Copies of this chain bind each other. A is one copy, B any other.
Amino acid sequence: MRTDSRLSRMLHVLLHMARHDRPYTSEHIAGMLQTNAVVVRRTMAGLRANGYVRSVTGQGGGWTIACDLNKTTLLDIHRAVGGRHIFAIGLDNDNPSCAVERVVNSAVADALDRAERLLIGRLGEVTLAELAEQFDAICHAELKQ
């Protein structure tokens, strides 16, 4: 399949929403992400189901952020969008009868597990607030020039 960009897309949207006090329409967000409003609704639905954003139908409606930036991590967002497969690489057969294959599987799975734990751990360490601060710092530096 294509590489899953839902995490980075949603982070992009959330940070914009964090610095904007009115709702964004799906259409507006689709423009930011260069995609379709339906794709936006579909992906954001996962965030809404977990309480990270709210949506309002009808005129003047749209999407707003609804979480504490200091308590929400990249891992929370990753999980909310339903990202399952982290790796494009995997085992050929999860339950082999061949002893050779079991040895291979345990070695490959061990390496993948270590990397997955590191990735998940890292995503869980970074909050939306930290990213927002980085953005603010960049804006500040650019204004000073």
By a beta-carbon cutoff of 8 Å, the part of chain A in contact with chain B is 1, 3-5, 7-9, 11-12, 15-16, 32-34, 74, 78, 83, 85-93, 98-105, 107-108, 110-112, 114-116, 118-119, 122-123, 126, 130-131, 134-135, 138-139
Contact = CB atoms under 8 A, between A and B. Distances in A.
Contacts of A91: 5, 8
Interface centre among A88, A99, A131 (most CB of B within 10 A): A88
Please classify the interface of chain A as helix (H, G, I), strand (E, B), loop, or mixed, using the class held by over half of its residues. Answer: helix
A79 to B, nearest CB: 12
- Copy tally for this chain in the complex stands at 2
Given A107-B131, A111-B123, 20 more contacts: A1-B88, A3-B87, A3-B89, A4-B90, A5-B90, A7-B89, A8-B91, A8-B104, A8-B105, A8-B108, A11-B104, A15-B100, A74-B108, A74-B111, A85-B88, A99-B138, A111-B126, A115-B115, A115-B118, A118-B118
